[in-house]
Structure 1
């Protein structure tokens, strides 16, 4: 696995249970997955990655930032790469992603490629005076995204992208009037089998996911069916292998629109580790190894995941285990092994049960023990 962050760390228990020897190429010493990192090196360096790949059967990732030339070199060397470079390029570049989703006839916000402030101002004027501007590469958790009323508010982005070797283009989209945000996870193996989890509702705070409710309330029937169809169409149309997260808007006029894609296990699927028959990390390993996929139904009527953001002002998460776990014995705590820092995801709590209000309360209360 390339990338030694929290997703690689959370893959370790699933790998142990499946009897899979998981090896990690970490970018730096002391990363979250240090327990499995037998090599530290630059994932942007072709020679380093090829040397790592000679010791494994399949390469996968915990982020989408490995350069295309490195990915192509792996494929040329005969290394199975999942997801492959042809699929990952749609997660690496939002403009390429929007173009492909539009070609597939999938529901997306109205959008445009803009290379000048004049083009951006024209789009803003044609969409009610407000628009969302995104950098095509590198943005996540609210980074590289701005709601603007004038092109001058992001004029420096045009210059920065051009200086970084791009064509200076930004992605601009309509500001969607949505009632809530949803996420649909799907897994696909190279031989074509697909499996979807229940549609979930995500709650964002400051552009960062704070809570996930599975399944999304009031989603049974047509909404869940449409979301699953959209995710499967994307997975098949883009040639995705492994886990794919499709982030969605449910609009005020009862449509769903595709917002973002993540070609890896995703924060919106962490609830499945405790709440589903097959968690997303086990499923990802099954998929990239082309093993039969597991059942994805919910173990309980409801599961709620609450992220621990920032963490305690002093000490570590483990310092608070005794009091927190005693007060909330139904809560499942997952520690990412990261140092506390304002706004940083350093862990999450999941609670499952039959009463949604009670489950939400328990999950929030348990997570609160780890935050100041």
Structure 2
């Protein structure tokens, strides 16, 4: 696995259970997945990645940032890479993603690739005077995303792209009026076998996922059916191997529009560790190792995952951790072994049960024990 973050960390237990040896190329010695880190190095350095790949049978990812030339060279050398570069490019570049989704006939917000302030301002003016602008590459958790009314509000982004020697294309989209955000997780093997989890609702705070409700409360059954259909169409259409997360908006008129793609285990699927027969982490390993996929049925009628953002403002984490465990014995705590920092995802809490609102209250209280 390239990348030593919390996704790699949570991949270790199911790898052990499946009898797979997992190796990690981590960015720093003190990473979340440091116990499985065999190599510490730069994933953007070709020779570091090639040397690491020579020690494993299959390469997969904790993030989408490994450059395409490195990935394609790995394949040219006979290394199994999952998801393949041809699929991963659509999670790496938002403009390519929008183009592919349009080709697949998947509903998306109105959008354009713009390279000048004048072109951007034309789009803004044609869409009610406000729009969402995104950097094509590198943004996540609210980074690389701005809601603007004037094109000069992203002048620094155009300048940075020009200084880096790139054509200054940014992605601009209509500002969608939505009632909630949904996510569909799909797992796919290279053979084409697919499994899906129930559609979930995600709750964002400051551009960062704060809560996941699984399954998503049924407000309109047709909406959830459409979200599930879209997830499978995208997984098949891009040819992904592994876990794919399709993040969507449910609009005020009950349409479903695709917002983002992630081709790896995703924050919206962390609930599945306790909430599904087969977690997204085990399923990802099964898929990239070309093993039969597992059952994705829910283990309880209601499951809520709440992210622990920031960590304790004061007091050592181990002490707060013990106190939280004692106060909330029904909650399952997952620490990412990260130093507290405002807004940082340092862990998550999951609670399962029969009643959504009861479970949600318990999960929120348990997560708050770290604040």
Could you say whether these structures have the same fold, taking a TM-score greater than 0.5 normalized by the shorter chain as the test?
Answer: yes
Matched position secondary structure for 2:268:
helix
Q: Give me the whole-angstrom Cα distance separating, in 2, the residues matched to 1:189 and 1:219.
A: 32
User: 2:124 is paired with a residue of what secondary structure?
Assistant: helix
**Alignment correspondent of 1:194:** 194
Per-residue deviation, 1:164 = 2.2
Name structure 1 gaps, 5 residues minimum: none
Q: Does 1:346 align with 2:346?
A: yes
Name structure 2 gaps, 5 residues minimum: none
Structure 2 match to 1:302: 302
Instruction: Give how far 1:219 is off.
Output: 5.3
Counterpart CA distance in 2 for 1:163 and 1:198 is 44
Partner of 1:109: 109
- The within-5 A match list for 1:266-285 is 266-285=266-285
- State how far apart, in whole Å, the 1-side matches of 2:315 and 2:77 are: 46
CA contact (8 A) 2:244 2:264 kept: yes
Equivalent residue for 1:264? 264
Deviates more, 1:43-52 or 1:359-368: 43-52
- Are 2:187 and 2:243, in contact at CA under 8 Å, matched by a contact in 1? yes
Residues 317 and 335 in structure 1, CA contact (< 8 A), matched pair in contact too = no
How many angstroms apart in 2 are the aligned matches of 1:88 and 1:149? 32
Secondary structure of the corresponding residue to residue 63 of structure 1: coil
Q: Which residue of 1 aligns with 2:49?
A: 49
After TM superposition, what 4+ stretches of structure 1 lie above 6 angstroms from structure 2? none
CA distance 1:112–1:144, change in 2 (3 Å): same
Supply the distance in 1 between the matched residues of 2:317 and 2:332 (Cα, whole angstroms).
Answer: 13
Aligned to 2:5: 5
Larger mean CA deviation between 293-302 and 43-52 belongs to: 43-52
Task: State the distance in 2 between where 1:209 and 1:229 align.
Answer: 23
Query: Whole-Å Cα distance in 2 between the matches of residues 90 and 165 of structure 1?
Result: 22
1:367 maps to 367
Structure 2 equivalent of residue 168 of structure 1? 168
Deviation at 1:329, TM superposition (A): 0.9
Q: How many residues align?
A: 371
Contact 1:141 1:209 in 2 (8 A): yes
After the TM superposition, which of the residue ranges 246-255 and 36-45 deviates more from structure 2? 36-45
Match of residue 70 from structure 1: 70
Contact 1:95 1:113 in 2 (8 A): yes
Q: CA deviation at 1:36?
A: 0.2
The CA distance in 2 between the partners of 1:214 and 1:220, in whole Å, is: 15
Equivalent runs, 1:1-372 vs 2, <5 Å: 1-218=1-218, 221-371=221-371
C-alpha contact 2:218 2:224 (8 A) present in aligned 1: no
C-alpha distance after superposition, 1:313-364 (max 9, x if no partner)? 2344321133211221110000001000000000000001001111011000
SS in 1 for 2:287: helix
- State the SS of the aligned residue for 2:80: coil
Deviation at 1:229, TM superposition (A): 1.3
Displacement after TM superposition at 1:222 (Å): 2.2
| Superposition RMSD in Å | 1.0
**Cα offsets for 1:79-101 (capped at 9, x unmatched):** 00000111111111100100110
CA distance in 2, matches of 1:104, 1:156: 33
Q: Using the TM superposition, give the Cα deviation of residue 220 of structure 1 relative to its aligned residue in structure 2, in angstroms.
A: 7.0
Partner Cα distance (2:322, 2:151) in 1: 52
Cα distance in 1 between the residues matched to 2:156 and 2:352: 46
Q: Is the 8 A contact 1:199 1:219 kept in 2?
A: no
